[in-house]
């Protein structure tokens, strides 16, 4: 959170709606965002935490509905976020702890939550350039894995995450929590396998995929000559043949011990930081 945000000051917002009933229609709508159908229909999602909400604002996201617990009343940063929400046409709710717990499905909820509009980047608008790394995920199913990968993509400076095929919803409560706010910084794209393969052919990027049949040690691949698309397969079945055959290199991560595979998020992190190693400078680290 920047000093500018802190120094902008806080002011009381007169357009705050106090809500204590779980039967309130707005509360019901927000609670419904735990279901994918409601998220898809409204094209919105819920995110939790004051710092996360402030970070989203600073990255240019707009809050549709801000919800804060009574404990947040009078706190300068909470009221500043409320003021920004009202100024941009959003709604502000001050709720009881019972309502906040119901909305977030937590016994000890964060003080602030917010509803945002979903953002998707079109695959047609993605043109990989030198130094960029894009992550493509085939049918990732676990919300925690996806959220962790998005967070890792942010940390490593990847340019975005492409969801190929039937993937878990990146805007679910579980995934959003696992991103720890990184989903506001990482572009998300969705594509069918056919769309992805067609795009890959014209992208000019090198597709590196992990595969059980991979013959190349991931540490020996030259990731510097072209932009890289790092492709990771489904948690249970790996990559299907049509995607594996499109790869320019099938990589493997050497392992010892009894485990025959790595968790998808862990494997993606290992691969991603190797791909980005020549671009990650100590001087640029946070």
Domains of the chain: 3-117 (3.30.1330.30), 123-284 (3.40.1280.10)
Residue appearing with tokens 């702890």? 97
Over residues 88-147, the pLDDT tens digits come to: 999 999 999 999 999 998 888 899 999 999 999 999 999 999 999 999 999 999 999 999
**CA-wise closest residue to 190 among 263, 137, 116:** 137
Instruction: Give mean pLDDT, residues 192-211.
Output: 95
The set of residues, in sequence order, having a beta carbon less than 8 Å from that of 259 and lying 6+ positions away, is none
pLDDT tens profile 10-49: 333 447 889 989 999 999 999 999 999 999 999 999 999 9
Q: Are 44 and 26 in contact (CB under 8 A)?
A: no
What is the layout of strands, in order, in the sheet containing 16-19? 16-19, 91-95, 63-69, 112-117, 44-48
């Amino acid at each position: 959170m920047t000093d500018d945000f802190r120094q902008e000051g806080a002011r009381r917002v007169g357009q705050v709606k106090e809500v204590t009933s779980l039967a309130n229609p707005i509360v019901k709508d927000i609670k419904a965002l735990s279901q994918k159908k409601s998220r898809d229909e409204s094209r919105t999602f819920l995110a939790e935490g004051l710092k996360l909400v402030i970070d989203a604002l600073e990255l240019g996201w707009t809050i549709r509905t801000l919800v804060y617990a009574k404990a947040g009343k009078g706190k300068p940063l909470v009221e500043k976020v409320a003021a920004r929400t009202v100024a941009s046409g959003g709604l502000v709710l001050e709720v009881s702890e019972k309502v906040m717990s119901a909305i977030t499905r937590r016994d000890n909820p964060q003080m602030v939550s917010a509803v945002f509009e979903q953002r998707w980047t079109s695959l047609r608008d993605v043109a990989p350039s030198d130094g960029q790394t894009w992550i493509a995920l085939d049918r990732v199913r676990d919300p925690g894995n996806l959220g962790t990968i998005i967070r890792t993509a942010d940390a490593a400076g990847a340019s975005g995450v492409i969801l190929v095929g039937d993937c878990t919803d990146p805007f679910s409560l579980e995934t959003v929590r696992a991103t720890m706010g990184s989903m506001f910084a990482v572009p998300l794209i969705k594509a069918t396998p056919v769309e992805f393969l067609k795009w890959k052919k014209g992208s000019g990027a090198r597709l590196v995929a992990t595969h059980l049949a991979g013959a190349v040690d991931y540490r020996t691949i030259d990731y510097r000559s072209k932009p890289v698309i790092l492709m990771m397969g489904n948690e249970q079945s790996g990559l299907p043949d049509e995607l594996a055959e499109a790869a320019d290199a099938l990589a493997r991560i050497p392992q010892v011990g009894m485990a025959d595979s790595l968790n998808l998020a862990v494997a993606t992190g290992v691969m991603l930081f190797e791909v980005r190693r020549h671009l990650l400078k100590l001087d640029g680290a946070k």
